[in-house]
C-alpha cells in the first residue's frame, strides 16, 4: 500500500523514526527499528521540514529558497518511498 503525496499533504516522521546526526559518518541518518538510512544533505533538509505542519508545497518552497533545480516529482518520490517503508506518515487536510 502506498500513500499518495499531494501538494496539500503534511508529511511527518513515523513515531518510531528519528533523524539524528551520526558523528562517525558525519552525516544525518534516519533511524528506525528496521534499519538505518544515511541521508545526503538535501534528504536531511527535506526530513527536517516533515513536521506534520508544513505541506509538501511549503517544503518545496523552502527547498527552492536553498537549492537550485528542485524537482517536485523527485521530492514527492522521496517522500513516497519513505511512506511505503512506513518511516514517514502522510497526513492530508
Strands, DSSP E only, in 5-86?
10-13, 18-22, 27-32, 35-38
Enumerate the domain spans of the chain: 10-91
- pTM: predicted TM-score of the whole model, two decimal places: 0.91
Q: Which of 2-6, 17-21, 22-26, 37-41 has the lowest mean pLDDT?
A: 2-6
Residue range 4-20, pLDDT digits in tens: 899 999 999 999 999 99
Residue 33 has pLDDT above 60, yes or no: yes
DSSP assignment of 2-17 equals: -----TT-EEEE-TT-
Percent of the chain residues topping a pLDDT of 90: 91
Residue 54 has pLDDT above 70, yes or no: yes
The CATH number given to 10-91 is: 3.90.930.60
Amino acid at each position: 500500500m502506498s500513500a499518495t503525496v499531494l501538494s496539500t499533504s503534511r508529511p511527518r516522521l513515523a513515531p518510531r523514526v528519528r533523524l539524528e546526526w551520526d558523528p562517525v559518518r558525519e552525516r544525518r541518518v534516519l533511524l528506525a527499528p528496521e534499519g538505518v538510512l544515511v541521508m545526503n544533505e538535501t534528504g536531511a533538509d527535506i526530513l527536517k521540514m516533515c513536521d506534520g505542519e508544513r505541506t509538501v508545497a511549503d517544503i518545496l518552497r523552502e527547498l527552492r529558497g536553498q537549492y537550485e533545480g528542485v524537482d517536485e516529482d523527485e521530492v514527492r518520490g522521496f517522500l513516497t518511498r519513505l511512506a511505503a517503508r512506513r518511516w514517514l506518515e502522510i497526513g492530508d487536510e
